[in-house]
A and B are shown apart, each in its own frame.
Chain A
Amino acid sequence: MNDTTNGLYNLLLWLWSTWSNLLRLGSQNGTGLFSNWGGGGGVRRGSNGGNGVQPKVKDITERFLEAARELKTGELVQDPNFTLLEAVGALEIMDPKMDSGLMEQDAFENYDVLAPRLPEEIIGILDQLLSHEVAWHTGSALSQTLFTSLYLDRLLSPAPSSLAEAGFGKLMHGQQIRTFEEGLLHKILRSYCIGLVKCVHHVNLQIQLENLRTMKDAQHSSHCIYEEEDIVLQTYNVALLERIPSSEALSLLTETIEWLKHIKTEIEPQIYEALFARLKFRRNFLAALATPLDNYADDKVPTAAWTDAQDALQVIKETHKLGKEVPEACTIVVQRKLASTVPPRPMVEYAFEEAVATLERMLKRNLEALKVLEYRGGADLYNYFIHFMAQNPQPLPYTRSLLRGLAFNKGQFLGKVPVKDVVLSDINELIFPREIVFDPKHKEVEMPAHPSFKINQVTEWYLLRASSLYCQLFTDQAMNRSRFRRNLCHSIIEWDNFQVEAEECDANLADLTNETPLSKDQSYSYVLSSWVYLYKLRLLEWVVFLGFELEIYQPYEYSGMFWLAQFYARARLSHLVRISEFSKVRTPPSGLSREEAQDWQKRKLLNIALLNYHMLDARAIEALSSASMSLYSVLTHLRLIPLPYANSYASDELRYELRMKPFQQVVSPQIEPFPRAPEECFRPGTFRDEFACEEDFTEWVEQKLEEAKVAVSYCRLDYNELCKMEGMVGMGLAGDEIKANYKLLLRSCVGMSLAVMALQMAMKKGEVAKCEVRIDAEKYHPFFPVPVVSTKK
């Protein structure tokens, strides 16, 4: 290509021989390559005008055409920087499916926002806006939801800079509202819309701030949360009344409410109630959303606003039937005007009933999120977060960002406690290390050669690194479940590396503190790495179990994945046993006062109780996983669940390698390579063929079912006990949720046990061939889908 075309080549990135398409479009508009193609990427004539300097324009259309003619059809000149992503993002101008400029304008132009509306219609419009708002909260773009409203369109364009300017037209400038009819539009609808836009603005802002914070905290930027997949923050250059303070919007809503009260007698009571509830909801919702998170930390928590919004929402739900829909008040043609580079996209239909249910859940959870302010230690916080985020359906992005934002604000927990103090409290609760390790007095020593100085150096470094990974864990939990699992796969590697580093610290500390090893095997406590290992094992279990929750495994993989789950749970159990061995023999440091000694004993007992609780939990998970492993193994080899297709490109070994990829990179505990992995779990198609005769296979089945039966009966006992547990450390904030979770696990347990019994019965009667199996993931714990065995009629 020659120099001139090179310029164009850079500009347009790709040059096809079928440029004719675009060129034809250009000529249809009566212009050459300098035509303004609107939207994206076109060359605009005189775009740098304004400053008084005449731009030099050289028409290269002809030269461009000439160069294009030299290319054969199908020939491609591709700039390496032009990626698939850009190709997918490209639009063809004048193609009605891609060019939003070609949308019919009629709907847009024919709707009169100033036309008088019946009170019922105003209710209908308000409820439509509410549905759109919830649709946006759940991940749809503003262009497909709220921005389709012609009232919002009028209100926001051109961007009003003051409350007085924000309106639908006419009556805006302080003119008196004389009638109810005028007030419906210029008071009720207007103030509601202004409040609504401010709500969107605050949610947008909170999530963006939270994104920035997490990016700052995180070690790599990909850990930033709530991307487009969760909520679309794009506003297409439409200003969301940023220049109008929320206090003014709130006053306006209050004024409107007062006005409505004033004319109450003129209005039908039901209509009055409906309008009143909608305004009240909007005012309280905005008041709560507009409260900066810093205020929460100062005990200015908007609890009342959330609960008032909840009350108002009930009335909205009950009075929805009064409303009359005005479908023409929303149109996707608004997308013509939005600064967007995507093709026209359909309006999102979000049913009102569903919107209210989602909103009810959101309000409830926003209130629940405030519980984190009652923080009582690391174990508590950990349990609280897990159970909060595991709720199904998952809390909305705003709620998740609220909780994470409240918890980790400005690099500190709750905006006031340094994160490393939280980590330290967690270590003290879980591991109960010797006082000398984290003795605050070490900090006072300034002599570099002094052991105290060195101990402090080691623990400070450790706490800093631990805090960062600890924070990350909570950030990861705040993501959607799919991304959570993916991020965990990366986090486990970081925890794995950190464990190696922490072990070095521990070896140093054993030396510096003259630690006496436990007599029986001459081993040292390794407190720092113990904590890391415990967390890493929890994360590994999560990665395995979230795969079940997200339906990533096929049924024939279940036995293998449960094998992995029991492998990690068993490792966790033995690690907890090891920690408790050190803890149990701890004696109080010398020189404690009577009260201090009592306090020390209390902390030791709490630690032992907490460890016992975790051991029970790990033992139950291990038993249930083992039972599930055996059961699904039997189902696979009895051919009661579908096997992998024989005539495929895969092999057992390649499947194993792919599935174990996240785990294979972890140094400890190391998983077995394929040849040593249990065959019954990882050779679904061929394991059965290894038996010399049918009797041997039958014997194996019976033995496996017996093993499953025993395991399941043990874990039933454990879960029964766990369900009854009261007042445990770490159950303060999420006690109810923890119990509900154990009940669900117990249900899976019972389900597995029924399946085992049904199979044992079928084996006895020789009726296995008549059995049918359906896997139920709905009614049971998402980590333990249950096979439901029935007999074919």
Chain B
Amino acid sequence: MAATATTIDPTPPSKAPLNISRDAITYHPWDPQQEPLQLSQIRKLISKDLSEPYSIYVYRYFLYQWGDLCYIAMHEGKFVGCVVSKLEPHRNVALRGYIAMLAVEEEYRGLGIASKLVRMAIDAMIEKDADEVALETEISNTAAIKLYERLGFLRSKRLHRYYLNGSSAFRLILYLKNHLPPEERGILEDAGCCGGHDGHSHDHAEHERSEQPHDAHMIG
């Protein structure tokens, strides 16, 4: 079953935007203590833009395990945006961050909230020594694609009819570190593979086959 990953269109709304100062938006890490209140709000925010609903497990899957990679944007006590992510070893080769959900309340779009949230998530991933960040987005969601491309993501592949509604996706990847050993990067011609390398561990055999052709059809 193909899952519907969420990247919410961050284009400015067509109606005149509210007169909101960017400074009035505050950003907060996810607080597990506030879960009963916050989870339902996050759910409401995200499911609004989804054609098909996620069960509560999906939210909990991320928030319980990677709550520290989730951030919330608020305005005058109101939830106006959030980002939900995770960070896991990917095929034992790289520590891969993943942006699972990103949502901004419609009338708050165009204020850079989505970018700020994603940056916060990526910064937290870097803090935790992530090698790369990945996500999927609908190919027609040009605003979301632009947002991520401005942050440095590249489209790495196209996924045919990835979403349940039949639309295709791009997988976007951002490398945060070199994945190749120095001698393959042309900088240390004669060094041993991992000589002088910045603690990045890898398995040579796995380098060869780091990506299997079968893309798991899930948000991950």
Chain A residues proximal to chain B, CB less than 8 Å: 14, 16, 18, 21, 73-76, 78, 83-92, 95, 97-98, 139-140, 220, 222-223, 228-230, 341-343, 345-346, 348, 480-483, 485-487, 489-490, 493, 550-554, 557, 644-645, 648-650, 653-655, 657-659, 661, 664-665, 672-676
Flag if B166 contacts A482 (CB, 8 Å): no
**Contact present for A84 and B156 (CB under 8 Å):** no
Give A403 Cβ to nearest chain B Cβ, in Å.
18
- The complex places the Cα of A21 from the Cα of B55 at a distance, in Å, of 12
Cross-chain pairs A/B with CB under 8 angstroms, 23 sampled: A73-B35, A74-B64, A84-B3, A85-B217, A87-B55, A90-B57, A98-B53, A139-B166, A228-B2, A228-B217, A481-B158, A483-B213, A486-B157, A486-B215, A553-B155, A554-B155, A648-B150, A648-B152, A654-B175, A654-B177, A665-B207, A675-B187, A676-B186
Q: With A21-B56, A78-B64, A222-B214 in contact, is A673–B186 under 8 Å at CB?
A: yes
Contact call B55/A91, Cβ cutoff below 8 A: yes
Q: Which of B161, B168, B218 contacts A85 (CB 8 A)?
A: B218
- List chain B residues, Cβ under 8 A from A553: 155
Instruction: Tell me, yes or no, whether B114 is within 8 Å of chain A by CB.
Output: no
B25 at the A interface (CB under 8 A): no
Closest to A232 in B: B161
Which residue of A90, A341, A664 contacts B180 across the interface (Cβ within 8 Å)?
Answer: A664
Question: Which residue on A lies nearest to B36, using beta carbons?
Answer: A73
- Choose from A229, A481, A644, A657 the contact partner of B178 (Cβ within 8 Å): A657
Give every chain A residue within 8 A of B168 (Cβ-Cβ).
Answer: 482
Residue of A whose beta carbon sits closest to that of B53: A97
Please judge, given known A-B contacts A73-B36, A84-B220, A88-B54, whether A657 and B2 are in contact too, CB under 8 Å: no
Bound-state Cα–Cα, A653 to B61, Å: 34
**Chain A residues whose CB sits within 8 angstroms of the CB of B63 once the complex forms:** 74
A684: shortest Cβ distance to chain B, in Å?
13
Please indicate the chain A residues that have their CB under 8 angstroms from the CB of B152 in the complex.
Answer: 644-645, 648-650, 654-655
- A573: shortest Cβ distance to chain B, in Å? 26
Closest Cβ of chain B to A641, distance in Å, is 13
A342 to B53, CA, bound (A): 10
Asked if residues B56 and A88 are in contact (CB atoms below 8 Å), the reply is no
Asked if B160 contacts A658 (CB within 8 A), the reply is no
Select A88's contact among B149, B162, B219, beta carbons within 8 Å: B219
Given A84-B218, A85-B218, A92-B55: 19 more A-B contacts, CB < 8 Å: A73-B36, A74-B39, A76-B64, A76-B65, A88-B3, A90-B55, A91-B55, A139-B166, A230-B160, A343-B53, A482-B158, A485-B157, A486-B157, A486-B215, A655-B152, A657-B180, A665-B207, A673-B180, A673-B186
* CB <8 Å contact, A16 and B56: yes
A-binding residues in B (CB < 8 A): 1-3, 32, 35-36, 39, 47, 51-58, 60-61, 63-65, 122, 139, 149-162, 164, 166, 168, 170, 173-180, 184-187, 207-220
A654 touches B178 (CB 8 A): yes
Known: A87-B57, A89-B1, A649-B151. A74 touches B32 (CB 8 A): yes
Q: Please name all residues of chain B whose beta carbon is closer than 8 Å to the beta carbon of A649 when the two chains form the complex.
A: 122, 151-152, 174, 176
A88, B218: Cβ atoms closer than 8 Å: yes
Q: Chain A: which residue is nearest B208 at the CB level? A: A665
Chain A residue, CB-CB nearest to B149: A554
How near does chain A come to B123, taking the closest CB pair, in angstroms?
A: 9
**Given A16-B56, A76-B60, A655-B175: A645 in contact with B158 (beta carbons within 8 A):** no
**Nearest A residue to B152, CB-CB:** A650
Q: How far is the CA of A676 from the CA of B166 in the complex (A)?
A: 42
**Cβ–Cβ < 8 Å partners of B32 in chain A:** 74
- Residues of the A chain whose Cβ atoms lie less than 8 Å from the Cβ of B166: 139-140, 348
Report the separation of the CA atoms of residues A348 and B166 in the bound assembly, to the nearest whole angstrom.
10
CB distance from A695 to the nearest CB of B (A): 32
Selected from A88, A91, A657, the residue in CB contact (under 8 A) with B185 is A657
Q: How far is B131's CA from A652's CA once the two chains are assembled, in angstroms?
A: 16
Query: When the two chains form the complex, which single residue of A84, A140, A552 contacts B155, counting CB atoms closer than 8 Å?
Result: A552
Check if B218 sits within 8 Å of A551, measured CB to CB.
no
Q: How many angstroms between the C-alpha atoms of A21 and B60 in the bound complex?
A: 14
What is the bound-complex CA distance between A698 and B3, given in angstroms?
51
- List of A residues within 8 angstroms of B53 by Cβ: 92, 95, 97-98, 343
Closest chain A CB from B85 CB (angstroms): 13
Given contacts A657-B185, A672-B186, contact A552 B156 (CB under 8 A): yes
In this complex, the member of B158, B207, B215 whose beta carbon has the largest number of chain A beta carbons within 10 angstroms is B158
Query: Are A84 and B157 neighbours in the complex by a CB distance under 8 Å?
Result: no
Partner among B35, B55, B159, B160 whose Cβ is within 8 Å of the Cβ of A74: B35
CA distance A98 to B185 in the complex (A): 50
Known A21-B56, A230-B160; judge A552-B149 contact (CB<8 A): no
Q: Which 5 A-B pairs have the closest CB atoms?
A: A673-B186, A650-B152, A648-B152, A222-B214, A74-B35
Query: A480 to chain B: which residues have CB within 8 Å?
Result: 160-161
- Closest CB in chain B relative to A93 CB, distance in Å: 10
Complex Cα distance, B178 from A394, in Å, reads 37
Inter-chain CA distance A229–B163, complex, in Å, is 9
Query: Contacts A645-B149, A655-B175 known; A345 to B164 CB distance under 8 Å?
Result: yes
Complex alpha-carbon distance, A493 and B205, angstroms: 13
Residues of A within 8 A of B54 (CB): 88
The distance in angstroms between the C-alpha atoms of A554 and B152, with both chains bound, is 11
- Minimum Cβ distance to chain A for residue B178 (Å): 6
Determine if A223 and B213 form an interchain contact, defined as CB atoms under 8 angstroms apart: yes
Specify which of B55, B63, B164 lies most central, judged by the most chain A CB atoms within 10 Å of its CB: B55
CA distance A493 to B212 in the complex (A): 12
Chain B minimum-CB-distance residue to A484: B160
The closest CB in chain A to the CB of B151 belongs to A648
Q: Which residues of B contact A78 (CB under 8 A)?
A: 64-65
Q: Which residues of B contact A485 (CB under 8 A)?
A: 157-158
Nearest chain-B residue to A346 (Cβ)? Answer: B51
Residues of chain B with a CB closer than 8 A to A657's CB: 175, 178-180, 185
Q: Are B57 and A645 in contact (CB under 8 A)?
A: no
Task: Tell whether, in the assembled complex, residue B122 and residue A16 are in contact, meaning their CB atoms are under 8 Å apart.
Answer: no
* Distance between Cα atoms of A341 and B52 in the complex (Å): 13
Which one of A341, A348, A493, A659 contacts B154 once the chains associate, using CB atoms below 8 Å? Answer: A659
A557 to B185, CA, bound (A): 19
Q: Roughly how many angstroms separate A664 CA and B162 CA in the complex, as a whole number?
A: 27
Give A474 to B47 CA distance when docked, in angstroms: 42
Which of chain B's residues has its CB closest to A84's CB?
Answer: B220
The answer on a CB contact under 8 Å between B58 and A85 is: no
Contact flag A552-B157 (CB < 8 Å), given A649-B151, A675-B186: yes
